[in-house]
Amino acid sequence: MNAIATLARQSRRQLLVLSTLAVAIAGAVATPAFAADKAASTKAARVSAPLSSAQPAGSYITTKDGVQLYYKDWGPKNGQPIVFSHGWPLNSDSWEAQMIFLADQGYRVIAHDRRGHGRSSQPWDGNDMDHYADDLATVIETLDLKNAVLVGFSTGGGEVARYIGRHGTSRVAKAVLVSAVPPIMVKSDKNPGGVPKEVFDGIRAAQLANRSQLYKDIPAGPFYGFNRPGAKVSQGLIDNWWFQGMQGGHKNTYDSIKAFSETDFTDDLKKFDKPTLVIHGDDDQIVPIDISGRASARLIKGSQLIVYAGAPHGLTDTHKDRLNADLLAFIRQ
């Protein structure tokens, strides 16, 4: 913790991030790290049956490199498609509040479990933003979605940005970034206001030391703002976050920390040419708004920024009614 204390004195912004993530890092011990291709084209993807009778009910799509992606497809099939990309280390279940609301409004809502997360396959390699974006393209192309609204939360916002950067917007009508990680989180000479890499190293160490405990500490603390004075704590949200996280692969979720923290999405954001809404809470202790939401809004030409005063990172649950209303209004514009 001495190293963390030293980093905390570097700047007020860094102090905020370090202090709120300290609970996740404090129990870390020295543990050997995992041993450290560009994604293949996804045009040959096909819809397949579940791998075995033990798989949960639902549908799977197989990518060209053999990864099974679990996905949900709710609402009327003739409705405008809205495609959701989830955050780390969660899965498509994290979008339930938005999906059921928008499906009831007549939209077709689709969300997949990212490779290595939830009910999807757990490949050893390919846990990076290029593969994530190409997997999203596989879902969109396999289901032949057109005029789609892409909505990405946190890491999923990076997935949406990289999808547009790699695959363009020919199938896209609009985009929404919610509490999203772009343009880039980690501190560097080019990004002096970012979060020190040592913070993410600490999260990795905590995951290797006791992943289950880490996945309880994060939602119980900074993710939903439950560490704030007077916060109304929901054990149900904490338990659901832990449950979703533990469904993901250990190696996959470990690798994803690098993907969401060190990937630079600046050039991807400059390629956005469709109406874009950026939503971020100004009390986000996981992805601070100044280096993310506000910075992304400046880079995306013509984008609209909505700041939720006092909202935490996990506003898809804590502020779900407002978010649902804002999404519906933006989609209907």
Catalytic residue among 94, 120, 154, 179: 154
Residue 73 dihedral angles phi and psi, to the nearest 5°: -140, 95
Determine whether 284 is an active site residue.
yes
Residues paired with 108 in a beta bridge: 81
Non-local CB neighbours of 5 within 8 Å, separated by 6+ positions: none
Residues 153 and 87 sit within 8 Å (Cβ to Cβ) = yes
Residue of 92, 135, 313, 326 marked catalytic: 313
Check the CA dihedral 306-307-309-314 and report its sign. positive
CB burial readout 151-176, b (16+ within 10 A) else e:
bbbbbbbbbbbbbbbbbebebbbbbb
Respond yes or no: is residue 117 known to be catalytic. no
Neighbours of 202 (CB within 10 A): 22
Q: Bridge partners of 110? A: 73, 83
Catalytic residue among 134, 255, 283, 284: 284
Please confirm, yes or no, whether 313 is among the known catalytic residues. yes
> Which residues on neighbouring strands pair with residue 139, listed in sequence order?
none
Alpha carbons within 13 angstroms on the beta-carbon side of residue 321 total 0
134: helix, strand or coil: helix
Active site residues: 154, 284, 313
